[in-house]
């Protein structure tokens, strides 16, 4: 049985990747010149993983449906709280890592916990205020380490782990609990 119904996004990347969104849709990312046959083989080789991810997303949707969606007022309150909590954490960890940063923005993002632009501007999801403090700190450290390495290379993760040796534990918390929170944001 082949995997069908995926969205293909070609870009200047070097490798292929697959993600399954909360709604169960499959995104395949591939280099601009990757032959279609190679992409099909890649998708087929990852078929079991895709079906496991789809099952996981169905479970997340079921869990989230038992929780009410966040109201606009709740989202606004989370954003205000995040503006009080996150900038001091960024300042603290920026000193430890030895980096500078630009503007800090709090958003109600539907797929990311944080991001760092090439100019050093940082974006954080307001939902982080619902996570344990060490999980919030792990996202802050992750984004600040992009000021040294704008990738997810071994050197990047070495820097993250230098600052937060328990990073992977906190990242696992986000992977396990984050999708339900995000689903409550998106309804």
Give the model's pLDDT for residue 177.
87
Give the model's pLDDT for residue 176.
86
pLDDT over 70 (residue 3): no
Q: How far apart are CA 11 and CA 113, in angstroms?
A: 23
Give the model's pLDDT for residue 10.
94
Q: pTM of the prediction?
A: 0.74
Q: Which helix (H) or strand (E) holds 65?
A: helix 47-65
**Model pLDDT for residues 23-68, shown as the tens digit of each residue:** 788 999 999 999 999 999 999 999 999 998 888 878 767 766 677 8
Q: How far apart are CA 104 and CA 89, in angstroms?
A: 11
Domain ranges of the chain: 6-65, 72-186
Closest CA to 181 of 113, 86, 114: 113
> How many CB atoms are located within 10 Å of the residue 92 CB?
14
Give the model's pLDDT for residue 24.
82
Burial of 113 (0-12, 13-18, 19+ CB in 10 A): buried
pLDDT band for position 107 (cuts 50, 70, 90): very high
75-90: average pLDDT: 97
The per-residue pLDDT of the chain, averaged, comes to 90
**Model pLDDT for residues 113-165, shown as the tens digit of each residue:** 999 998 999 999 999 999 999 999 999 999 999 999 999 999 999 999 999 99
Question: In the beta sheet, which residues pair with residue 104?
Answer: 122
5: left (phi over 0), alpha (psi -120 to 50) or beta: left
CATH number for the domain whose boundaries are 72-186: 3.30.2010.10
pLDDT over 50 (residue 20): yes
Question: In the beta sheet, which residues pair with residue 125?
Answer: 107
pLDDT band for position 187 (cuts 50, 70, 90): low
């Amino acid at each position: 049985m082949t995997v069908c119904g995926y969205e293909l996004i070609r870009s200047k990347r070097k490798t292929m990747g697959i993600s399954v969104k909360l709604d169960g849709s499959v995104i395949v990312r591939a280099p601009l010149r990757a032959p279609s046959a190679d992409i099909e083989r890649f998708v087929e080789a990852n078929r079991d993983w895709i079906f496991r991810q789809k099952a996981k997303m169905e479970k997340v949707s079921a869990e989230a449906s038992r929780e009410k969606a966040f109201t606009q007022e709740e989202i606004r309150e989370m954003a205000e709280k995040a503006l009080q909590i996150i900038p001091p954490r960024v300042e603290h960890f920026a000193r430890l890592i030895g980096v500078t940063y630009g503007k800090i923005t709090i958003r109600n993002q539907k797929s990311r916990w944080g991001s760092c632009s090439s100019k050093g501007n940082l974006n954080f999801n307001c939902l982080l205020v619902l996570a344990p403090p060490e999980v919030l700190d792990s996202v802050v450290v992750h984004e600040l380490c992009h000021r040294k390495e704008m990738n997810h290379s071994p050197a990047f993760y070495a820097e993250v782990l230098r600052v937060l040796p328990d990073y992977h534990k906190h990242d696992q918390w986000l992977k396990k609990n984050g999708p339900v929170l995000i689903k409550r944001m998106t309804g």
